[in-house]
Structure 1
């Protein structure tokens, strides 16, 4: 097993563990996992190919769909100039 695949597996286990925490304790580790995800996905894609990277990206979007939607809406509102 490659180091990239091992890192991806550990990331998934960490994300599943964070999801089991109470909501008030999820923010800090969730942000760290959200920031590390692109690094792990690009690493997987470089080592194992583009299709593994696409699968990793699809899994990432599936797991973090609500935070990504929230931050996307905030960014979109800022671009449009809507006050928050």
Structure 2
């Protein structure tokens, strides 16, 4: 097992623990931290193990962080009924 793959497994475990821990905010600070760590990790994983493993890791990360992804997809769209 390569170092990048071991780090990716640790990231998934940390993300699941972060999702189950109680919080006073809406957990966006934890999501931001996981994204900031996950993006370079996916690049490192792709570099060491190839593009298919990198794409699988990207899909796994997107499934763990699905609410930030939904927010990113909906962000540039104008809201219905707000045209002047």
**TM-score of the superposition, structure 2-length normalised?**
0.79
Q: CA deviation at 1:67?
A: 1.3
1:73 counterpart residue number:
74
Larger Rg: 2
Higher helix share: 1
How high is the TM-score relative to the length of structure 1? 0.79
- Structure 1 position 55 matched with structure 2 position 84: no
Consecutive unaligned residues of structure 1, counting only runs of 5 or more, are: none
Which runs of 5 or more residues in structure 2 are unaligned? Answer: none
Partner of 2:11: 11
Flag the structure with more relative contact order, 1 or 2, with Cα contacts below 8 A and sequence separation at least 6.
2
- What is the RMSD of the two structures over their aligned residues, measured on CA atoms? 2.1
> Matches of 2:2 and 2:52 in 1, distance apart?
16
